[in-house]
Structure 1
Amino acid sequence: MPAPGPGGLAPVFQKGATRDKTVALTFDADMTADQGNRAENGEAFDNPDLIDTLRDLEVPATVFMTGRWADQYPDEARDIGEDPLFEVGNHSYSHYSFTRSCYGLPVLPEKQLRPDVERAFTAIRKAGVPHVMPYFRFPGGCYDDRALRAIGPLGVTVVQWDVVSGDTFATDASRVARQVLEGVRSGSVVVMHCTRSAAPVTEEAVRAVVPELRKQGYRFVKVSELIGAAGRRR
């Protein structure tokens, strides 16, 4: 695991510093700790069709999973985690904010920041994911030095992104695809979502994005390959 950076802060990775035409598609499997009733009433926080599409297109990807999502969908979590096409990272347990203001998310007390991440690792492993990568993505991508210092002792690398797909609550797949295609550069990390209720057109957008980027000469990789390449250049 990586050591904490200066001041005990967890290191942050945003994109690969490479001229190789590689791109990492990442998908956040979001579910907050208080959404159980909505799931029981039929709201879909998973997206199995998206996972099937990635398999059909043979696209490796990194899925950042909340512990609450893994609790709700343990069979799907295990299925993703056991597939060598994918890797699984930690997206917190609760999907509550680690900072004082983040898109209206409930805010975790400071003393709960590290335990929330630890609880997510436990939940994801309990669901049957055999190997959870030491990567963490903050809910909403919101963080500050206080949050980085709190999770620094866990030895995780924080994974951000440089391309926002805009798939959250989008209804136009072509617009999402266009935003991704216009933003991708060599070494890009794209953030998308694996939640039907909150990102209903993501699967359709992926079907448009993948062949076009391949036509442009891009190769799809997991985040670990970009991070590994960065480490080899040091």
Structure 2
Amino acid sequence: MKWLRRKPTIITAVGLVVVLAVAATLWNVSGSRTFQFFGELVNRVETTEKVVALTFDDGPDPAGAQQVLDLLDQERVKATFFLIGRDLEKHPELGRKIADAGHEIGNHTYHHERMVGVLPSTVAGEIEDTDAQIRRTGYTGEIHFRPPNGKKLFALPHYLSEHHRKTIMWDVEPDSAGTPTAAQIEQDVLDRTRPGSIILLHPMYASRDQTRQALKPVIGELKERGYRFVTVSALLAGA
């Protein structure tokens, strides 16, 4: 009789462990840089040619947009900006400057919230509202997508797959965790970059001055090493 009384408790405990294990696994999968359940994910391109895609997340924001654009112009580098819809709506003139300079503009959702455990309608709204803001800049090229914080699970990849769009991730991310110094950012990029890399930086907001300071030496040193900078679309096309 004691065993019968304890059995439900044991079953409940085992069930809880299983649920927690599944939840932890799914959370880890949601942040994977190399795997998703639906559609195509790209975190780098296999090539022997020394080409890399320089990409920026967030914004546009007055704190960093013009400084970044000026430097890219000086260095004659084209980059891919993954912009947030609400920031584009707030600063449309900055979006137009990015488009007018010939850079590629990607979609980073409208509200920059983690796209995990959300309804398909939420995913559609976040992407389509941001696409509309991007088109208002005058940008006419392909709009690639990057999930906020790299998080995606079921609804987001399924939507992208149904609309024949890739999930663009990265393999070099020197400033995603915290706010390292410019020297640390530069060294991390130089240590990790290889042919076909997609480099992620966050230079837009006021708190990201160290990233902005690192940008010029990063570009200069990679050029010295023989690297050429292209947009994500050009990298995917084998430029």
> TM above 0.5, one fold?
yes
Aligned to 1:22: 51
1:94, 1:185 → 2: CA distance? 32
Aligned to 1:5: none
2:141, 2:209 → 1: CA distance? 26
Alignment of 1:110-125 (within 5 A): 110-125=120-135
SS at match of 2:112: coil
Q: 2:46 is matched by which residue type in structure 1?
A: A
Identity %: 28
SS at match of 2:206: coil
Q: 1:78 is matched by which residue type in structure 2?
A: R
Q: 1:96 is matched by which residue type in structure 2?
A: E
By how many angstroms is 1:113 displaced? 0.8
Asked if structure 2 preserves the Cα contact closer than 8 Å seen for 1:90 and 1:117, the reply is: yes
Q: 1:151 is matched by which residue type in structure 2?
A: L
Choose the corresponding residue for 2:225, options 203, 207, 216: 216
Cα gap change, 1:136 to 1:198, in 2 (>3 Å)? farther
SS at match of 2:233: helix
Aligned to 1:37: none
Size of the aligned set, in residue pairs, is 204
2:208, 2:234 → 1: CA distance? 26
Q: 2:154 is matched by which residue type in structure 1?
A: D
TM-score, structure 2 normalization: 0.78
Alignment of 1:80-159 (within 5 A): 80-84=98-102, 86-100=103-117, 108-126=118-136, 128-159=137-168
Q: 1:123 is matched by which residue type in structure 2?
A: Q
Aligned to 1:63: 81
Establish whether residue 197 from structure 1 lines up as the match of residue 206 from structure 2.
yes
1:124, 1:96 → 2: CA distance? 18
Gaps of 5+ in 2: 1-36
Deviations 1:177-219 (A, max 9, x none): 1111111001000001132234222221011111111111111
Write 1 or 2 for the structure with the bigger share of strand.
1
1:167, 1:174 → 2: CA distance? 15
1:49, 1:121 → 2: CA distance? 25
Aligned to 1:3: none
Asked if structure 2 preserves the Cα contact closer than 8 Å seen for 1:113 and 1:150, the reply is: yes
Write 1 or 2 for the structure with the bigger share of helix.
2
By how many angstroms is 1:70 displaced? 0.7
Choose the corresponding residue for 1:77, options 95, 106, 114: 95
By how many angstroms is 1:45 displaced? 5.8
Aligned to 2:172: 163
Q: 1:208 is matched by which residue type in structure 2?
A: P
Asked if structure 2 preserves the Cα contact closer than 8 Å seen for 1:50 and 1:202, the reply is: no
Runs of at least 4 residues of structure 1 off by over 4 A? 43-46
Q: 1:89 is matched by which residue type in structure 2?
A: G
1:92, 1:132 → 2: CA distance? 17
By how many angstroms is 1:62 displaced? 0.5
By how many angstroms is 1:157 displaced? 1.5
Cα gap change, 1:49 to 1:200, in 2 (>3 Å)? same
Q: 2:91 is matched by which residue type in structure 1?
A: Y
Q: 2:90 is matched by which residue type in structure 1?
A: Q
Q: 1:13 is matched by which residue type in structure 2?
A: V
Gaps of 5+ in 1: 1-7, 32-42, 101-107
Cα gap change, 1:45 to 1:91, in 2 (>3 Å)? farther
